[in-house]
Amino acid sequence: MKGFGFNRTPRIYFGAGVVSQLPSILKSKASRVLVLTGSKSFRDNTVLLHLLEGLENEQITVQFDRIGHEPSPEDIDRITHRFRAEEIQAVVAIGGGSVLDAGKAVSAMLPLESGVQDYLEGVGTRSHTGTKRFFAAIPTTSGTGSEATANAVLSGHGPSGGFKRSLRHENLVPDVAIVDPELTLGCPPSITAASGMDALTQLIESYLSGKGGAMTDALAYEGILHVHRSLVKAYDDGGDMEARSDMAYAALLSGISLSNAGLGLVHGFASSVGGSGNIPHGVICGTLMGVVNKYNIRKILKENPENEAFEKYARLGRLFAEKEGKSRVWYLEYTMYHLEELTDRLKLPRLGTFGLLESQLAGIAALTEHKANPVRFEADILKAMLRERL
């Protein structure tokens, strides 16, 4: 067994109803709390309304702000400027991956005076100190796994070009992750599909990564199993509590896995495509996941059957097909078929739906990183992948 390291995780609370524990968790940590939510009103959600009452009963003063889109540096600077003088002791983010990333960045920037863009990888020139306010992440979708990661992804747009870059430090892992599947019951099918495929992408890319080890392989495969069992069920019936629990668990495992094993080409595209326009992260990953894995598998079959990813893809094929006794090549080919069929089954939109143009593909390909992908491709092949989902 090869050696490996393993990064810190939050204190995790998982299960139906565990969000009710937040007031008691915060009681010894903070008397003044900033709560970030999505675009919908906090008071429109009965569960969250009860949570607010619980915080008030513990005599915790609560301030609010909202994030209705993927966060930008300007969003983070606005929020931190507004609340920096309020003696906020803890930040609680309740929402999808964008809200969690925003909360993570706000908790990291409240102790500092400068703007967050100075600290972004590949954009800024400063290193974050790791100092932050106590941070609790409470996901209401099952996708990014941000509740278990040490980075916050921020998006920039402007005449000189856009970007999607991370604010990162090992200390930025949430102090507490409260994963309550009940909070995902109201998630609409389109978001269930995109976020679920994002989680599956993160799990598969972590599983295939050469940077992983025995622990990440075990966690990622376990997550893939739960997605296979329940993503379509959650999409078809948003009130299926067992399916929602499976997906919440899988998303959590995806965050832990990617933090330790890294990601692959799909997430390389998520950065380059995401920086080119206003396309949701989960949609980019979900719509490209099938085609990227198809190209991966074809290249491995043709050029490198000794690649460690060959056996892993075969294992995934056995899981997806639920059949024994087939050849390894058959299982790899089934994996290609299954992932593309799943993309169609969940009605993942094409990139052109969001205004992406053929003329942009060359520039996007030039900016796309392979990360820990098991194989590499020339720019013309990257363009071909994008074109298939344009």
- pLDDT band at residue 159 using 50, 70 and 90 as cut-offs: very low
Residue entry with tokens 């200390």: 171
* Tens-place pLDDT, residues 140-155: 999 999 999 999 999 8
* Tens-place pLDDT, residues 84-98: 999 999 999 999 999
Long-range contacts of 27-32 (CB under 8 A, 24+ apart): 27/58, 27/60, 29/89, 29/90, 29/134, 30/60, 30/88, 30/89, 30/90, 30/134, 31/59, 31/60, 31/61, 31/89, 32/60, 32/61, 32/63, 32/86, 32/87, 32/88, 32/89, 32/90
Set out the domains of the chain in order of their start, with CATH numbers.
11-184 (3.40.50.1970), 189-388 (1.20.1090.10)
* Tens-place pLDDT, residues 53-62: 899 999 999 9
- Of the candidates 349, 334, 206, the one whose C-alpha atom is nearest the C-alpha of residue 286 is 349
The structure's pTM equals 0.95
- Average pLDDT of the chain, as a whole number: 94
* Tens-place pLDDT, residues 253-300: 999 999 999 999 999 999 999 888 889 999 999 999 999 999 999 999
What's the mean pLDDT in 161-183? 92
> What number of other Cβ atoms are within 10 A of residue 143's Cβ?
33
* Tens-place pLDDT, residues 37-81: 987 655 566 777 888 889 999 999 999 999 988 999 999 999 999
